[in-house]
Amino acid sequence: MADHRKEEARALSRDERDLALMARYPTLGKISDSDLGDLIERLRDRRDRARQIANRQRRETSKVAPAGGGNDRGSHSKAHYLGCALRRAQEEVRRRGELADLRPGDIIAG
């Protein structure tokens, strides 16, 4: 499995990197449910903004650049890495929900 942390660090701002790091274990497993909800909201906002910028750049460059001449990879990378962090955080919410559904005494197959 490739380690994309250098690419992620290059694509994201310092604040966005901090959010992405919070969406990684072990930090992700240690934050409270309310903080996890806040993290998801912030990641979603940043990802959506990055998508909008990337789409706008793609439209603008396609008007003036020859086919394949536009370069909006940085914005798409930012949206990609924020989306990955968002998915990790959402998966943690799902995992916590499943754990809450277990009854005391249930056996977890591992």
Residue 55 lies in a domain: yes
Residue 14 lies in a domain: yes
**Structure tokens that stand for 69 in this block:** 């001449």
CA-closest candidate to residue 16, choices 37, 47, 48: 47
Residue 80 lies in a domain: yes
Residue 107 lies in a domain: no
Residue 98 pLDDT exceeds 50: yes
What total number of domains does the chain contain? Answer: 1
* 28: containing domain: 5-98
* pLDDT digit string, tens, across residues 12-36: 999 999 999 999 999 999 999 999 9
- For residues 76-98, b (16+ Cβ closer than 10 Å) or e, as one string? bbbbbbbbbbbebbeebeeeeee
Residue 85 lies in a domain: yes
Give the residue ranges of DSSP H helices in 2-109.
Answer: 5-11, 14-22, 27-30, 33-64, 73-101
23 burial via Cβ count (<10 Å: 0-12, 13-18, 19+): buried
What's the pTM?
0.81
